[in-house]
Amino acid sequence: SRISGIGLEEIYRETMLFHQSAFKENNTGLPFRYESNGNNAWRKYGEHHAWNPESIGLLQWSTRTNDYRKFKEFSALVDRENARPAFVRGCFNLKRNPIPVDQVEPEEKIMQRFVTGAMSYGSISKEAHEALAIAMNTIGGRSNTGEGGEDPARFNTPKMSAIKQVASGRFGVTNNYLTNARELQIKIAQGAKPGEGGQLPGYKVNEIIAKTRNSTPGITLISPPPHHDIYSIEDLAQLIYDLKCTNPRAKVSVKLVAEDGVGTVAAGVAKAYADLITISGGEGGTGASPLSSIKHAGLPAEFGIAETQQTLVMNNLRGRVKLQVDGQLKTGRDVVVMGCLGGEEFGFSTSALIVLGCIMMRKCHLNTCPAGIATQNEELRKRFIGRSEYVINYFRFVAREIREYLAQMGFRSFDDIIGRTDLLEINPEVGNWKMKNMDLAALLYMPAKPGEAELKSAITGLKKVEEHIDFELIRDTSKAIKGKEKIWISRQLKNTDRTIGAMLSGEISLRYGETGLPEDTINCTFRGTAGQSFGAFVVKGVTLKLEGDANDYFGKGLSGGKLIVVPPTGSTFRPEENIIIGNTSLYGATSGEAYIRGVAGERFCVRNSGAHAVIEGTGDHCCEYMTGGRAVILGRTGRNFAAGMSGGIAYVLDADGNFDFYCNKGLVELLPVEDRADVVELQELINKHLLYTQSSLAMDILTNWEEYLPRFVKVIPLEYKKVLEEQKLRELEKKLQLTEDNTARHE
C-alpha cells in the first residue's frame, strides 16, 4: 500500500474481535445473536456509512428549502465524521491564515469547476438526467451524458449535456452526437470497477432508450472493457485525434481510475494531446456494479489525484492538461482538500442524485428505484420529485463554503491552492489501533516545479488537428454542403492521411443534424493507402470509395455514410484471399453501409449497432459485442465469431462446413437461411456488393445462387431472436384485431 498499513498484530486482533463478539453473552445469559453488519446497505447497528439517514435528510432538507444554515449542519456532520475518517481526506487539516471572505473570488466562478458524473440515460430516468443538465447549464458547470447517448431533441437546449461520453460500448455515439458537445470524454474505465465494463439490463431498455442507443428494446446492453479498440497509448492517441477532427471546437478528456501507476498512464494521456484528465475514485459505484467489484476494486481518489499531480509535475507535463477528480465529494472542505492534492475540476454524482431525492436503497440495477431516479418504470418515475433548482442550491452552497475555506486559508482564488499540498497537514488526533502504521507523507510530497524555460518547452508545439485533408474536402464540396448539389472529387492518399471524412461529416451534422444529406450527394474517390480511421464517423450523403487498402479503425463510428474499398486497378491477386483493411473496422458503427472487396483483419464489426457491411473474409473476433445491423461474410472467419453478440444478424458463407467450430455460440444460434425475408435481404446485400465493387466472388455466388444459398449460415443472438418473435406476435395480434374490427363493422 502507498500508505503502508497493518501487520500480523492487527490481523490477529481484528480476527479475535469476531470471535469475542460471537461468544459474548448478553444480559439474558443467552449467546449473542448476529445482526446484519450493514456491509452494503446501511443498518442502524452496523458499520459506519458516509451516506446515512441523518446526512441524507439534512442535505435534502437544506437544498429543498434553500437553507444554507441547514446545509452547514450537513457539512458539519460530514466533517465531524473526520474524527473517525471514512475517507483519506479526513486525515488532513487545512492550514489557516485568514482574510476577509469578501476578498475571495465569487461563487459563480467557483461553480464553473463543477461537473456531474457520467450517469447514462438508461441507468437513470429521463427526468433525473435532464434535471442535472438544466442545473449545470444554469450555473456554468457541465453535466455528463454517460455512455448512453443523448436524445438529439435536447441538443442546443438547456437540457443538453455539455460533456458527451465516448465509451467502449459506443452507445448512441454518432457524428451528430459528437458535434453537439463542449467536451468529449473517453471512458477508459470506471472508478468503482476498473477493468470491467458496464451493463444495462434488458428490462431497463425501453423503446426510447433503445432508439437513443441504436439498439432493440428489451435487449441487454453490455459495455465491455475498452481493449477492443484501445490496445495501447497510441490507440488512445488515435481516438483523441479522431474526436478532435470530428469536432475541433470541443475539448477532449480521458477518464482514468485511481489505481497504482495511474500517474504514468496520465503522463501518456497528456502526451497524446488530451485537454483534460479525470481521476475517478473507487468510493462511488454504478447501479449495475456487482458487489465483488465495488468492494474490492479501485482506490481512493486521493491516491490517484496525488500520484497524477506529482508525476505530471516531475515530467513537465502539468501545464498541458487540466485535472478533474471525483470520489464521493460532498462538502466544500472535500473540494478544497482535493484541490490542494492537484484537482482543478470536481465531479459530483451520488450527492447530486441524493439532492434530487435518492434515498440510497441500492436497487438501481433492479429497475425498482422508489424515488423514480434509477428506473425506467413509468409508474415509479411518477414519484420523482427532484427539481433542477435543488441541484443549483446544492452547488451554490458548496461554492459558498469553498469561499469560506479559502478565506480561512488566506487565498483570493481557487487557482492559488491547486497542487499546494504544503497547505495540508496530517491531523495527529486522527487514528486508532488499526491506523497507527499508516504513513500519508507520500500523498503530500510536492515535487519541485520546473523552471519557466522548461515549462515553455513542455507546452510549445502542442499538436492540434494538423492541416487535415478534410479542409480541402470541405472547401471543394461547399456547394454540396450548402445547396445539396451532387459532386464528385478524387484525391491521392498516403498512410499519414488519417481520419478522412470525419471533419467533413462534422460540418454536415452542424447544418443538418441526424438527417445528413441525400444519398450519394458527396462522392469522393481516393487512391493509395489510407491511414488509420479512414471513414470514421462519416454521415449520410457522403460516399467514400478507396482504390487501395486501409489501416486499422476503418469506418469507426460510421454514422450513415457509405464506404467502398476495392483493390487498385490492375491488381492481379485474388481479393478474397488477401487482407485489404486492418483491425477493428466498423467499430461502434451506428448506421450506414460498407462494401469491402477483400479480407479484414481482426475484430470486424465489433460493437456494430446499425451498419450493413459485406466483406469477403475476416480475422478473429468478428461481430463481437454486436448489438444491431447486418454483416455478410463471403468467406472464412477467424475464431471467436459473435462473442457477446446481443443484436443484429450475420450471414456467413460456410464454404468449408466448419464455421460452427469458429463461432462462439454462448449467446447466439446458428440457423439455415430459409426464411423468405432473410433470403431477400441476403441477396440484396450481395447484389449491392457486386454493384459497388465488381466482385468476381459476388458474381459467382449470385450466378449460382441455388448452389450457394444452402451453404450460408444465419447467426442470430438468442435474446434478439426472442424479441423479434415477440414483435412479430404483437404485429400478428394487431392484424387479427383489425380484421375482427373490420368484420364487426361490416356486419
Contact, 596 vs 581, CB < 8 A? yes
- The tens digit of pLDDT for each residue in 652-693 reads 999 899 999 999 999 999 999 999 999 999 999 999 999 999
Task: Please say if the pLDDT value at position 347 is more than 50.
Answer: yes
- Output the nine-digit C-alpha cell for 114: 463543477
- One-letter amino acid of 101: V
Contact, 633 vs 618, CB < 8 A? yes
Task: Please say if the pLDDT value at position 93 is more than 80.
Answer: yes
Give the span between the Cα atoms of 193 and 645, in whole angstroms.
22
> Strand, coil or helix: what is 221?
strand
Using a 10 angstrom Cβ sphere, with 0-12 exposed, 13-18 middle and 19 or more buried, the burial of residue 31 is exposed
Give the span between the Cα atoms of 336 and 351, in whole angstroms.
17
Contacts of 554 (CB under 8 A, 6+ apart): 530, 533, 534, 535, 563, 565, 581, 582, 585, 586, 600
Give the span between the Cα atoms of 90 and 70, in whole angstroms.
21
DSSP character string of 394-435: HHHHHHHHHHHHHHHHT-S-GGGGTT-GGGEEE-TT---TTT
Contact, 542 vs 524, CB < 8 A? yes
Q: Outline where 66-173 has alpha helix (H).
A: 68-80, 107-111, 126-139
3-state secondary structure string across 443-457: HHCCCCCCCHHHHHH
Cβ burial 340-357 (10 Å sphere, 16+ → b, else e): bbbbbbbbbbbbbbbbbb
Q: What is the dihedral of CA 592, 556, 559, 511, to 10 degrees?
A: -140
Q: What phi and psi, each to the nearest 5 degrees, are found at residue 92?
A: -110, 150
Cβ burial 581-617 (10 Å sphere, 16+ → b, else e): bbbbbbbbbbbbbbbbbbbbbbbbbbbbbbbbbbbbb
- Mean pLDDT within 546-562: 97
Q: How does DSSP classify residue 725?
A: H
Name residue 255's beta-bridge partners. 187, 278
Give the span between the Cα atoms of 700 and 690, in whole angstroms.
10
Cα angle, residue 199 at apex, residues 193 and 205 outer, rounded to 5°: 150
Q: What phi and psi, each to the nearest 5 degrees, are found at residue 280?
A: -105, 125
Q: What phi and psi, each to the nearest 5 degrees, are found at residue 200?
A: -110, 115
- Mean pLDDT within 318-328: 94
- One-letter amino acid of 623: C
Alpha-carbon separation of residue 248 from 252, 371, 510, 519 (angstroms): 10, 40, 12, 25
pLDDT value, residue 74: 96
Q: Within the chain, what is the greatest distance between any pair of CA atoms?
A: 96
Give the span between the Cα atoms of 4 and 7, in whole angstroms.
9
Average pLDDT, the chain: 91
Contacts of 542 (CB under 8 A, 6+ apart): 501, 504, 505, 508, 516, 517, 521, 522, 524, 561, 562
- Output the nine-digit C-alpha cell for 332: 466544500
Contact, 291 vs 315, CB < 8 A? no
Give the span between the Cα atoms of 245 and 157, in whole angstroms.
24
* pLDDT band at residue 438 using 50, 70 and 90 as cut-offs: confident
- Mean pLDDT within 197-210: 85
Q: How many residues are recorded in the chain?
A: 747
- The tens digit of pLDDT for each residue in 221-270 reads 888 777 778 888 999 999 999 999 999 999 999 999 998 899 999 999 99
Alpha-carbon separation of residue 92 from 344, 423, 442 (angstroms): 19, 10, 13
> Strand, coil or helix: what is 145?
coil
For the chain, percent of residues with pLDDT exceeding 70? 94
Task: Please say if the pLDDT value at position 626 is more than 60.
Answer: yes
- Output the nine-digit C-alpha cell for 360: 440510497
pLDDT value, residue 246: 96
Give the span between the Cα atoms of 468 and 524, in whole angstroms.
16
- Rg for the chain, CA atoms, rounded: 28
Task: Please say if the pLDDT value at position 454 is more than 60.
Answer: no
Contacts of 379 (CB under 8 A, 6+ apart): none
Q: What phi and psi, each to the nearest 5 degrees, are found at residue 606?
A: -65, 135
Task: Please say if the pLDDT value at position 453 is more than 60.
Answer: no
Q: How does DSSP classify residue 512?
A: H
Give the span between the Cα atoms of 663 and 669, in whole angstroms.
10
β 92-94/424-426 pair status: antiparallel
Alpha-carbon separation of residue 337 from 89, 280, 341, 425 (angstroms): 7, 16, 6, 11
- Output the nine-digit C-alpha cell for 458: 513542455
> Measured in Å, how far apart are the chain's first and last C-alpha atoms?
83
* pLDDT band at residue 460 using 50, 70 and 90 as cut-offs: very low
- The tens digit of pLDDT for each residue in 720-729 reads 999 888 888 8
- The tens digit of pLDDT for each residue in 470-495 reads 999 999 999 999 999 999 999 999 99
- The tens digit of pLDDT for each residue in 377-399 reads 999 999 999 999 999 999 999 99
Name residue 594's beta-bridge partners. 563, 613
* pLDDT band at residue 79 using 50, 70 and 90 as cut-offs: confident
Nearest to 499 by CA among 468, 540, 472: 468
Task: Give the pTM.
Answer: 0.93
Q: How does DSSP classify residue 59?
A: H
- Output the nine-digit C-alpha cell for 20: 469475542
Give the span between the Cα atoms of 169 and 606, in whole angstroms.
10
Alpha-carbon separation of residue 527 from 491, 492, 496, 642, 654 (angstroms): 7, 5, 13, 33, 32
Find how far residue 512's CA is from the centre of its chain. Answer: 25
Looking at per-residue confidence, does 733 or 162 come out higher? Answer: 162
Contact, 83 vs 76, CB < 8 A? no
pLDDT value, residue 49: 87
Q: Outline where 192-331 has alpha helix (H).
A: 207-212, 233-246, 262-271, 291-296, 301-314
Contacts of 490 (CB under 8 A, 6+ apart): 524, 525, 526, 527
Name residue 124's beta-bridge partners. 121
For the chain, percent of residues with pLDDT exceeding 90? 71
